[in-house]
Structures are given as structure tokens and as C-alpha cells.
A and B are shown apart, each in its own frame.
Chain A
Amino acid sequence: MNRRTCLEALLPHVTDQLVVASVSGQWIWGQLSKHDGNLLLGSMGNALGVGMGMALGLPHRKVIVIESDGSVLLSLFNLPTLGTLNPKNLVVFVFDNEAYSGSRISRPSATAAKTDIAAIARDSGISRAMTVRDIDAFNREMSSAIKGPGLGFIVAKVEETFEHRNAERSDVDLVENKYRFVRYVERTEGKPIFLGRG
């Protein structure tokens, strides 16, 4: 199982949800999905927090976060906060390849040794936190989490792949992406997001 096969499986399930991706997931997701509700952050350690804020700010709307082991490890304080706040409309996918693959020399992350992100999440109060190790399990848990209510936290153990190192980069600037996302939320929620008119 690798990140692309998982994201390809996720793709048909994404309709009107809001999707936030950290830098490690955004290359593949950005290629696969042209959904206006995608916010591709281009940084590590931020997607889970931003997704939490969206889920709290728009509690009737499902929010999906695409994270990685390195990015979650950078902001581990998110897990106790997530367990405490427990937003019912948030699903988090952590693609754990046990490496800092973006470093181009693939240094191992702590999950290659003894760290278990799903266990940390469970001990932080996220009861529906689990690790999946094959595509069938991913499909089953992903589908259930997307369709059902409640906070979902799925750590997918994936093989390290290297396609992102040669992938064509998007020419959509982060600010352009933000406006596309915000206009999508405005259209679908029927309310202005940014105040202050010209």
C-alpha cells in the first residue's frame, strides 16, 4: 500500500467535504483532485490544526485532513487538543511512511523505531484512532469514517515512494488556492467569509 493508492481510493468519496493537506500529501492529492474545497497548505505541522479550526467553525460540514508522520510529529501537541475538543465532523488521515521522504535522503522518522502515532492519539482521548496496514483495511475504515459521524483518526502505514521528487509542481499559488477555497465555502454555505469591502 502506498499513499497514491490510498488517495485514489479516497477520491470518489470526496464530494462537498473540505480537505486540508500538508505538504507531504498535497502533490499527489493536488494531481488527483481539482476539488475547489481543497486547501493545500504547502507546509508541515499545520494541516491538523487548520482542519480542527474548520471543523469547529463549521460543525455541520465534514472536514478531511491529509497528514503525514513527519508533519504530525512536528506538532504533536495537536493530539491532546484534538482529543479534548473531539469535533464530530473531522476525519484525519496520517500517511506514515516512517521516513522524512521529502528530505531526499529518506532519513527515518520516529515511527520507524518505536513511536506509534495511533497509540498516542488514543491516549490523547481520540477513541477512534487506528492503524491500517493494507488497502482493504484502509478502504473499509476510510469509507466508514467518511460516511459516519464522529472524529476519525486513521494512520495508514504506507511504503515510501519517490514520485513526489519528480512530480510536476502546481502553478497555483498558496494565496490563489486560499481564495478558491474561500469562494467555494462562500458558495456552498451562502455566507461571506472575508469581511472588508473595497
Chain B
Amino acid sequence: MDQDLAKKTVEQLWRAGINFVTYLPETRLSSILPLLEAEKSFRLVPVASEAEAITIASGASLVGKQSACYMEGTGLFVCSYNLLTVSVRLGIPLLLLISYVGSFADQRNSFRFAPTGIRTEEQLKTLNIEYQVITDSADLGQRIHDAVRMMHALKQPVALLFTGDFTL
């Protein structure tokens, strides 16, 4: 992911009101992390498992933070229990920023990622989580804003799956 795209992504998250981000680092979108860290209006929370990325962000949302969870697509499978039993079950707005590894447009796709990648969207559907796939910077800001508006309207987690240019 080139630096300009990382900057644009972080700026649009800030403009959309996100101010609390839990994360487990991965390869495709990791250049957003130093930028999130540098922007002091974000509370950036490193975790050891995507499972607690979800529970910690859910707790923060319940006391007024606008929360996002950044993770690799494989992490969606790790945290499905926590999404289902906390965020989806109770109805808690969260923005899931998922690097869509193993998808068709993943420019670094390999046998390591494809078997989970091809199941990612089905997993989100199983969890009843609305999502959008983003492949380039066109309308990036609008799509992030739309996702944040949707998460508040539904009072549910909403996912953005980043692939294509974001995986270069």
C-alpha cells in the first residue's frame, strides 16, 4: 500500500469521526499504523488477538468512542465468536477495517491466503455483517463515511474489505 493511499485512508477515518482503533498488525495495510499513531486524536490500541480487538473496541463504543478494528482477513475467523456474542448480539457499532488477503484482487495472493480469502465474504454474510469491498482510492472518503453512517444506523459492526491497490 503506497504512502499516499495510507495517508488518504487515515485522513478519511479521522474525518468520519473514528477516534479509537484496535489492531493486530498484518502486511497489506500496515503503513496506516504509524500514521494513526502520529495523529493524536486516535487512541490506538495494540492487541494480541483479533478476538480482543473486537471486545475492547466494543467496550469503548459502549462508553462513547467511535471505534474501528483493523485486522487481516484471517483474523475475522479468529474473532467470529466475539463478534457474534458481543457486537452483533448486543448491537454495537464498530467499523471493521479488514485487509482482504486471499481475494481475487489481492496482489500478493498465495496458497497461504487464498483458502481463507475465498471464504471471507461468506463468513461476513453468516455473521449478518454488512460489508463493502474497496479496491482503489476512488470515492474512498465517501465509502468510509457511508460505512460509518451505516454502522450507526444499524447499531451493528460494518466491514470494509481492502484489496487491489491496497495490497500492493
Chain A interface (Cβ within 8 Å of chain B)?
A: 18, 20, 39, 41-43, 45-46, 48-58, 61, 75, 77-78, 80-81, 84-85, 174-175, 178, 181-182, 185, 189, 191-196
Cβ-defined contact, B57 with A53, below 8 A: yes
Chain B interface (Cβ within 8 Å of chain A)?
A: 17, 20, 22, 43, 45-49, 51-52, 54-67, 81-82, 85-86, 89-93, 149, 152-153, 155
Cβ-defined contact, B64 with A46, below 8 A: no
Cβ-defined contact, A81 with B52, below 8 A: yes
Cβ-defined contact, B59 with A193, below 8 A: no
A72 to chain B, nearest CB (A): 12
Cβ-defined contact, B153 with A20, below 8 A: no
Cβ-defined contact, B52 with A49, below 8 A: yes
Contact of A178 among B45, B56, B91 (CB under 8 A): B91
Contact of A56 among B51, B60, B90 (CB under 8 A): B60
A164 to chain B, nearest CB (A): 19
The 4 residue pairs across chains A and B that have the minimum distance between CB atoms: A53-B59, A49-B55, A196-B152, A57-B60
Cβ-defined contact, A182 with B56, below 8 A: no
Cβ-defined contact, A50 with B62, below 8 A: yes
Q: A46-B86, A50-B59, A175-B90 are in contact. Are A75 and B51 (CB under 8 A)?
A: yes
A-B contact pairs, 17 of them (CB 8 A): A18-B63, A41-B86, A42-B85, A43-B86, A46-B55, A46-B82, A49-B51, A49-B55, A53-B67, A54-B60, A57-B60, A57-B64, A75-B52, A78-B52, A195-B17, A195-B66, A195-B93
Contact of B59 among A57, A81, A192, A194 (CB under 8 A): A57
Interface residues of chain A: helix, strand, loop or mixed (majority)? helix
Closest to B17 in A: A195
Q: A81-B48, A81-B52, A84-B46 are in contact. Are A52 and B149 (CB under 8 A)?
A: no
Closest to B48 in A: A77
Cβ-defined contact, B56 with A43, below 8 A: no
CA distance A182 to B46 in the complex (A): 25
B56 to chain A, nearest CB (A): 4
Contact of A50 among B56, B64, B89 (CB under 8 A): B56
Chain A residues with CB below 8 A from B64, complex form: 57-58, 185, 189, 191-193
Cβ-defined contact, B52 with A54, below 8 A: no
Chain B residues with CB below 8 A from A78, complex form: 48, 52
Cβ-defined contact, A50 with B63, below 8 A: no
Cβ-defined contact, A196 with B149, below 8 A: yes
Closest to A84 in B: B46
Q: Which one of A45, A57, A192 has the highest number of Cβ atoms from chain B below 10 Å of its Cβ?
A: A57
B62 to chain A, nearest CB (A): 6
Chain B residues with CB below 8 A from A41, complex form: 85-86, 90
B94 to chain A, nearest CB (A): 11
Cβ-defined contact, A45 with B82, below 8 A: yes
B18 to chain A, nearest CB (A): 12
CA distance A39 to B51 in the complex (A): 19
CA distance A185 to B51 in the complex (A): 25
Chain A residues with CB below 8 A from B58, complex form: 49-50, 53
Cβ-defined contact, A53 with B56, below 8 A: yes
Closest to B20 in A: A57
Q: A46-B55, A75-B51 are in contact. Are A174 and B90 (CB under 8 A)?
A: yes
